[in-house]
Amino acid sequence: MHLTVCHMYPDLLNLYGDRGNVIAFVQRCRWRGIRVTVREVNLGGPVSFTGCDFLFIGGGSDREQQLIASELAARLQELQAAMEDGLVVLAICGGYQLLGHYYLTLEGRKIKGLGLLDFYTTAGARRLIGNVAVEAELNGSKSVLVGFENHGGRTFLGAVEPLGKVLRGYGNNGTDGLEGARYKNVYCSYLHGPLLPKNPALTDHLISLALQRKGMDGKLADLDDTIERQAHEAMVQRLLA
Ligand code: GLN
| Residues lining ligand 1, Cβ inside 6 A | 15, 59-62, 65, 93-94, 150-153
Total domains in the chain come to: 1
Q: How far out from the chain centre does Cα 162 lie?
A: 12
Q: Is 232 a catalytic residue?
A: no
Ramachandran angles phi, psi of 164, nearest 5°: -170, -170
The CATH number of residue 96's host domain is 3.40.50.880
> 137 CA to middle of ligand 1, Å?
25
pLDDT classification of 146: cutoffs 50, 70, 90? very high
**Active-site residue, 192 included:** yes
Residue 180 to residue 166: CA distance in whole angstroms: 10
Per-residue pLDDT of 4-30, as tens digits, reads 999 999 998 888 889 999 999 999 999
Residue count of the chain: 241
Hey, whose CA ends up nearest to atom 2 of ligand 1? Answer: 94
Catalytic pick among 93, 151, 188, 232: 93
Q: In sequence order, which residues have a C-beta less than 8 Å from that of residue 192 and are 6 or more positions away?
A: 15, 16, 17, 18, 59, 92, 93, 147, 148, 149, 150
Angle between helices 200-213 and 19-30 (to 10 degrees): 70
Amino acid at 239: L
Cα separation, 59 vs 63, whole angstroms: 11
Q: Whose CA is nearest to atom 5 of ligand 1?
A: 94
Segments forming the whole domain that contains residue 110:
2-240
pLDDT digits (tens, 9 = 90+) for 47-98: 889 899 999 999 988 888 888 988 889 889 999 999 999 999 999 999 999 9
The residue type of 84 is E
What's the CA-to-centroid distance between 153 and ligand 1, angstroms?
A: 6
Supply the pTM of this predicted model: 0.97
Distances, alpha carbon 113 to alpha carbons 16, 79, 189, in Å: 22, 13, 16
Question: Maximum distance among all alpha carbons in the chain?
Answer: 50
Residues of the chain with pLDDT > 90: what percent?
85
Least confident of 69-83, 120-134, 151-165: 69-83
